[in-house]
């Protein structure tokens, strides 16, 4: 990277596999999924009735998050149903962000037909990934609203002919509902992309000391963004399952 800083909004293309473009961010996300699944497999098998410190911490975390979800949703069954989704969103984004800060992510390159490209690259700098997560969260939120309230009652939130104000509020609700797709995905993408650019700049200016505090800050951002995405999913589910107040 002597020639300067290379920043691209679109992911680097490595090759194709059965028509699917393989990009460095896709590879990295596979790595993250593999790491998480391996960790889950090992941890899930080592659970014992009389727990060690690690298991106490894990159970405390799972129990704490589930308890918080039960409190927020005010419904034990609903909390249990959506716990895996919220927890997985948190774990995936957190691990993706943290793995992206590892030293081998970025500099390690492979040669392709159009020059060398990074083998692994910061996952959430590829807009496809936050967008995919946002779409999944969006579908889950709408699904929660429809299954809990019923399709008609849920639709009534957005299409309301009872009064003019009700109608306008419904339209605004509908727009903000769809806008969530963009806010969800761009919030995560923007934070991580900006962090990546910041670190690349710092590396270019002062490679030895300056990146350290920035990396610490990026770890913080990684946790915060993962928590924000998961919590917003939870809150939007809560909003979706809350029936329209009758005036």
CB of 35 to other proteins, least distance (A): 10
Write out the two tokens for 77. Answer: 């069954």
182 or 212: CB nearest other proteins: 182
CA 199 to chain centre: 21
Give the contact letters, 80-119, x = binds to other proteins (CB under 8 A), - = no: ---xxx-xx--xx---------------------------
Report d(CA 31, CA 188) in Å as an integer. Answer: 19
Say how far residue 242 (Cα) sits from the centre of its chain: 24
Helix or strand or coil: residue 156? Answer: helix
Q: Give the one residue of 14, 24, 26, 160 binding other proteins; rule: CB under 8 A.
A: 26
184 is an interface residue for other proteins by CB under 8 A:
no
* DSSP conformational letter for 123: G
CB of 128 to other proteins, least distance (A): 4
Alpha-carbon span 78 to 230, nearest angstrom = 16
Site membership for other proteins, residue 223 (CB under 8 A): no
Residue from 129, 232, 237, 240 touching other proteins (CB under 8 A): that is 129
The smaller minimum CB distance to other proteins, of residues 127 and 236, is found at 127
**CA distance linking residue 8 with residue 200, whole number of Å:** 12
Region of 36-44, 70-78, 159-167, 216-224 interacting with other proteins (CB under 8 A): 36-44
Query: Do 184 and 232 form a contact (C-beta atoms < 8 A)?
Result: yes
When asked if residue 9 is in the footprint of other proteins (CB under 8 A), the reply is yes
Burial 137-169 (b: 16+ CB within 10 A, else e): bbebbeebbbebbeeeebebbbebeeeeeeeee
Among 1, 15, 21, 64, binds other proteins (CB under 8 A): 21
Give the binding site for other proteins (CB under 8 A).
9-11, 19-21, 23, 26, 29-30, 33, 36-37, 40-41, 43-45, 47, 49, 51, 55, 58-59, 62-63, 83-85, 87-88, 91-92, 126-129, 131-133, 135-136
């Amino acid at each position: 990277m002597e020639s300067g800083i290379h920043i691209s909004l679109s992911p680097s293309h490595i090759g194709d596999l059965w028509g699917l473009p393989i990009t460095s961010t896709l590879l990295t996300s596979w790595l993250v999924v593999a790491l998480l699944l391996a960790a889950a497999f090992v941890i899930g098998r080592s659970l014992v009735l009389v727990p060690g410190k690690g298991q106490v911490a894990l159970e405390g975390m799972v129990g704490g998050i589930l308890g918080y979800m039960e409190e927020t949703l005010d419904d034990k069954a609903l909390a249990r149903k959506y716990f895996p989704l919220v927890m997985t969103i948190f774990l995936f984004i957190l691990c993706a962000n943290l793995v992206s800060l590892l030293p081998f992510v970025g500099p390690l390159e492979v040669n392709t037909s159009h020059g060398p490209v990074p083998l692994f690259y910061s996952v959430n700098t590829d807009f496809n990934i936050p967008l995919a997560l946002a779409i999944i969260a969006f579908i889950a939120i709408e699904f929660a609203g429809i299954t809990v309230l019923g399709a008609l009652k849920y639709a009534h939130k957005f299409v309301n002919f009872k009064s003019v104000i009700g109608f306008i509020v419904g339209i605004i609700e509908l727009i903000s509902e769809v806008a969530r797709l963009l806010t969800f995905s761009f919030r995560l993408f923007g934070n991580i992309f900006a962090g990546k650019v910041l670190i690349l700049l710092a590396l270019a200016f002062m490679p030895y000391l300056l990146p350290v505090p920035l990396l610490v800050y990026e770890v913080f951002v990684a946790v915060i963004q993962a928590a924000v995405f998961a919590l917003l999913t939870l809150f939007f589910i809560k909003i979706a399952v809350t029936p329209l107040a009758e005036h």
